[in-house]
């Protein structure tokens, strides 16, 4: 790949490092970097051969050379930077969860539409080739009708109430951090958006959702159950069941393999596509293609639907972040 666009990165933490490394691996180059702590931006620029460093984050938005802003700060800082980027005519690829709630996201989507810009969430599931290949098998009708899905995601995070996972000041909690993956997967396989949602939640001392069980039904009576935890490891496993078969996917946020078991005779079929280590390359490529084609093919409607679910759940839990 050669760079078709000038990408600017905002933030230089864990995921921003992955992004810059992947961009370099693809033979491309990040154009510029901004970060709250300037010294870290300088070190980051050196590491990834980035030519431009801004002393002030706001300088990034008014740089005429920037085409796309990749936002990699904590979730509660996303909306401010998304709006600034869009207002200045930049396309935006923003880390998950794209915003804190639907009100914020609706504002961002309206502005992107008004300005004719591509806005997308950096959701690996929407970009891994495995899911595109699975969609073809599903659309062929071979599996029958979708019935239900069971999806888990659990990490063990130390009870350090100051880290971002449990810290309400940094939009902590399992739902926005890992639930967004499980719910995005569910949304991809369910034929319509969710109509009925019930849940149970356990809070950490800080008030962040530490653990939850969520059940979902849509207007076609298709169902899903999702189990999340931030203080108990769970396998990242998805089982997606149809009339004639079920699909199993391990490590589904970045997966390159799924196994379909056909239930009439229990024979299995392995579906393989893409490479785990290229997850961010697919996001970069798809984003550039969406811009080139002038059409948002980044599954933004799924992002909107998932944000609606997460907003409803937190309303049910009476859980609000300081910004809300």
Ligand X SMILES: NC(=O)c1ccc[n+]([C@@H]2O[C@H](COP(=O)([O-])OP(=O)(O)OC[C@H]3O[C@@H](n4cnc5c(N)ncnc54)[C@H](OP(=O)(O)O)[C@@H]3O)[C@@H](O)[C@H]2O)c1
Q: Which residues bind ligand X (CB under 6 A)?
A: 11-16, 35-37, 40, 72-75, 77, 95-96, 122, 124, 164, 177
The number of beta carbons lying within 10 Å of the beta carbon of residue 255 is 24
- Contacts with 139 (C-beta within 8 Å, 6 or more apart), sequence order: none
Minimum Å gap between C-beta 12 and ligand X is 5
Cβ closer to ligand X: 74 or 89? Answer: 74
Peptide bond into 97 cis (omega under 30): yes
Question: Residue 322: which of 100, 10, 161 has the closest Cα?
Answer: 100
- Retrieve residue 50's tokens: 């980035």
Is residue 307 within 8 Å of residue 97, measured between CB atoms? yes
Minimum Å gap between C-beta 127 and ligand X is 10
Q: Give the separation between CA 215 and CA 225, rounded to whole angstroms.
A: 4
Cβ closer to ligand X: 178 or 216? Answer: 178
Minimum Å gap between C-beta 213 and ligand X is 22
Cβ closer to ligand X: 12 or 216? Answer: 12
- Contacts with 293 (C-beta within 8 Å, 6 or more apart), sequence order: none
Which helix (H) or strand (E) element contains residue 189? Answer: helix 180-189
Minimum Å gap between C-beta 91 and ligand X is 18
Minimum Å gap between C-beta 99 and ligand X is 10
Question: Residue 150: which of 205, 215, 61 has the closest Cα?
Answer: 215
Minimum Å gap between C-beta 259 and ligand X is 23
**Torsion-angle region of 154 (φ positive above 0: left; ψ -120 to 50: alpha; else: beta):** beta
Half-sphere exposure of 194 (CA within 13 A, CB side): 31
Cβ closer to ligand X: 9 or 148? Answer: 9
Minimum Å gap between C-beta 177 and ligand X is 6
Q: Give the separation between CA 135 and CA 125, rounded to whole angstroms.
A: 12
Cβ closer to ligand X: 97 or 245? Answer: 97
Question: Residue 59: which of 30, 90, 29, 28 has the closest Cα?
Answer: 90
Cβ closer to ligand X: 122 or 175? Answer: 122
Minimum Å gap between C-beta 9 and ligand X is 9
Cβ closer to ligand X: 167 or 222? Answer: 167
Minimal CB distance to ligand X: which residue? 13
Q: Give the separation between CA 235 and CA 119, rounded to whole angstroms.
A: 31
Cβ closer to ligand X: 50 or 241? Answer: 50
């Amino acid at each position: 790949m050669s760079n078709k666009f000038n990408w600017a990165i905002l933030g230089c933490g864990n995921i921003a490092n992955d992004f810059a490394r992947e961009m370099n691996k693809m033979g491309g180059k990040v154009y510029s970097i901004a970060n709250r702590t300037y010294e870290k931006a300088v070190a980051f620029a050196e590491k990834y051969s980035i030519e431009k460093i801004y002393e002030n984050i706001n300088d990034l938005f008014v740089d005429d050379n920037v085409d796309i802003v990749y936002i990699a700060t904590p979730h509660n800082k996303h909306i401010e930077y998304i709006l600034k980027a869009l207002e200045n005519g930049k396309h935006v690829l923003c880390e998950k969860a794209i915003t804190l709630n639907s009100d914020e996201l609706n504002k961002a989507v309206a502005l992107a539409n008004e300005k004719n810009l591509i806005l997308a969430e950096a959701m690996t599931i929407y970009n891994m080739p495995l899911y595109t290949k699975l969609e073809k098998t599903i659309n062929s009708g071979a599996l029958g009708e979708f019935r239900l899905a069971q999806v888990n995601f659990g990490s063990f995070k130390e009870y350090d109430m100051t880290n971002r996972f449990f810290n309400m000041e940094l939009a902590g909690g399992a739902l926005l951090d890992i639930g967004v993956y499980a719910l995005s997967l569910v949304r991809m396989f369910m034929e319509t958006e969710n109509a009925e949602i019930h849940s149970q939640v356990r809070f950490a001392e800080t008030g962040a959702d530490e653990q939850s069980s969520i059940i979902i039904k849509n207007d076609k009576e298709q169902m899903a159950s999702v189990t999340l935890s931030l203080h108990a490891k769970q396998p990242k496993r998805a089982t997606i069941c149809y009339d004639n078969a079920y699909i199993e996917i391990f490590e589904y946020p970045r997966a390159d393999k799924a196994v379909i078991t056909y239930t009439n005779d229990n024979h299995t079929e392995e579906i393989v596509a893409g490479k785990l280590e290229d997850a961010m390359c697919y996001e970069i490529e798809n984003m550039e293609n969406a811009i080139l084609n002038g059409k948002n093919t980044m599954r933004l409607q799924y992002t909107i639907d998932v944000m609606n679910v997460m907003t409803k759940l937190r309303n049910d839990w009476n859980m609000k972040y300081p910004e809300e």
